[in-house]
Amino acid sequence: MNRRRNRSTQRRQTQRFAALVALVIATLLTACAEEPLPQRRINRSDCLHTIDMDHLPEALRRCDAVVAAFPKDPGPLNDRFLLHILADKDDAACQDIRQAAALAQALPTRKMDHQLRHDLALRLADCPATAGGLTSPQATGAPKPGRPGGAAAPGKGAAGH
């Protein structure tokens, strides 16, 4: 009977030892796992960082994240305006510039870059008061129809007749 008890005790000790070894190996394997690299913080200037015309949707998504990270800053909205213009999304561009102008008005003059304030005023002037895209062909870089130089002849209309 003692022999059976000894064998049973030895088996349990062997099983415990095997379980302990497996636990140690599993712990070592998980301890060696790589930690993910820390993500770079979003910066206000990330919207227009390395723009590739073939990857405009990616640039817009990146800029959406910047706008979300800085909701009270008109600068990222101004940058996204440019991306929307490049993507031929005039309505979205004008919506961004109207929102940026409203944010800029709420800021004291000394707290906002003079050039940004000037850019916002110029771009806002090219957008209608309500949705509908840009109001002037110059805003998109398109020449005015009519004359070879771009401007329509006075009193002749867009066709130049």
- What pLDDT digit, counting tens, does each position of 24-39 carry? 676 666 655 566 777 7
Which amino acid does the sequence have at 145? P
Q: CB count, 10 Å around CB of 91?
A: 14
Q: How far apart are CA 125 and CA 112, in angstroms?
A: 19
- What pLDDT digit, counting tens, does each position of 47-71 carry? 998 888 999 999 999 999 999 999 9
> Could you give the number of structural domains in the chain?
1
| 53 found inside a domain | yes
CATH number (domain holding residue 113): 1.25.40
**Percent helix, strand and coil across the chain, each rounded to 5?**
60, 0, 40
Complete DSSP assignment for 42-74:
P-GGGTTSS--GGGHHHHHHHHHHHHHH-TT-H
| 95 found inside a domain | yes
| 141 found inside a domain | no
CB 79 within 8 A of CB 47: yes
* H helix and E strand count, the chain: 5, 0
Q: How far apart are CA 67 and CA 48, in angstroms?
A: 12
| 38 found inside a domain | no
Which range, 20-29, 39-48, 152-161, is most confident?
39-48
pLDDT at residue 117 greater than cutoff 90 = yes
Domain that holds residue 68: 44-130
What's the angle, vertex CA 75, arms to CA 72 and CA 78, rounded to 5?
115
Which amino acid does the sequence have at 96? D
What sign does the dihedral 108-84-128-137 (CA atoms) show?
positive
pLDDT at residue 2 greater than cutoff 60 = yes
| 36 found inside a domain | no
| 18 found inside a domain | no
Crossing angle for the helix pair 90-106 and 74-86, to the nearest 10 degrees: 170
Q: How far apart are CA 38 and CA 58, in angstroms?
A: 21
